[in-house]
Amino acid sequence: MPVTLPSCGVYERPEDAHRLFEGYDPRRALFLDRDGVINADHGYVHRPEDTEWIPGVFNLCRVAIDVGALIIVVTNQAGIARGYYSEQQFLDYTGWVHGQFASHEIVLQATCYCPHHPDAPDPALRLCSCRKPLPGMILEAARRYRIDLGASALLGDKPWDVQAGQAAGVGLNLRFDPNAMAEPGVVRTMQEAGQVLHRFFE
């Protein structure tokens, strides 16, 4: 019999779980990586006091909101698998992040997270179907929220973010790198990302 690999976890704030946009079915979405896109990647960030928002990320999210797209975070969380913090600590922190966005009138529909890693001390956390560059988190979100992946966009800061989006069939896959040379598929500021997203979502 085929082996079923573990899939991702999904966090939703209870007060936001029902706030799906009406009139956009199937829906479009903006998929965001977390560390390096939403917050600066200081390494295994899981506490509010270690959080530094990427400049312009809230305005970027408003571009998606203005066209009725859902905003969904898709994040590898090797820190859980490695034992640097518990899954509950991650969920508590994620709830805080969702609350911070809500204070800017931005609903993060969900955070899909992969708690697995090939080097995890626990063998049960080594294999999965969701760790990017695998597309499992994106496909789970598409199933859950009836997302039209071809009409959706993804922004990540690592090649495996883009690879996951491409494997899932996401229509626009961008890599955020403030230090990159100008090249197709790469944006260097959130303002530039917003402009590309605006053209794509028109």
Compute the chain's Rg from CA coordinates. Answer: 16
In this structure, are residues 96 and 47 in contact, taking their beta carbons and an 8 Å threshold?
no
Residue 4: the pLDDT is: 73
Answer yes or no: is pLDDT of 1 > 80: no
In the residue annotation, 92 being an active-site residue is answered as: no
| Cα(59)–Cα(28) distance, integer angstroms | 18
**Burial class for 141, CB neighbours closer than 10 Å (0-12, 13-18, 19+):** buried
**81-94 residue pLDDT tens:** 999 999 999 999 99
Residues above pLDDT 90, as percent of the chain: 87
Round the average pLDDT of the chain to a whole number and report it: 93
In this structure, are residues 115 and 83 in contact, taking their beta carbons and an 8 Å threshold?
no
In the residue annotation, 33 being an active-site residue is answered as: yes
Residue 89: the pLDDT is: 98
Q: What is the 3 state secondary structure string of the chain?
A: CCCCCCCCEEECCCCCCCCCCCCCCCECEEEECCECCCECCCCCCCCHHHCCECCCHHHHHHHHHHCCCEEEEEEECHHHHHCCCCHHHHHHHHHHHHHHHHHCCCCCCEEEEECCCCCCCCHHHCCCCCCCCCCHHHHHHHHHHCECHHHCEEEECCHHHHHHHHHHCCCEEEEECCCCCCCCCEECCHHHHHHHHHHHHC
Residue 17: the pLDDT is: 65
**What are the chain's domains?**
9-154+164-201 (3.40.50.1000)
Residues above pLDDT 70, as percent of the chain: 94
| Cα(70)–Cα(45) distance, integer angstroms | 24
In this prediction, residues 67-78 reach a mean pLDDT of: 97
Predicted TM-score (pTM) of this structure: 0.94
Catalytic hit among 16, 35, 119, 122 = 35
Catalytic hit among 33, 119, 157, 177 = 33
Q: What type of residue is 92?
A: D
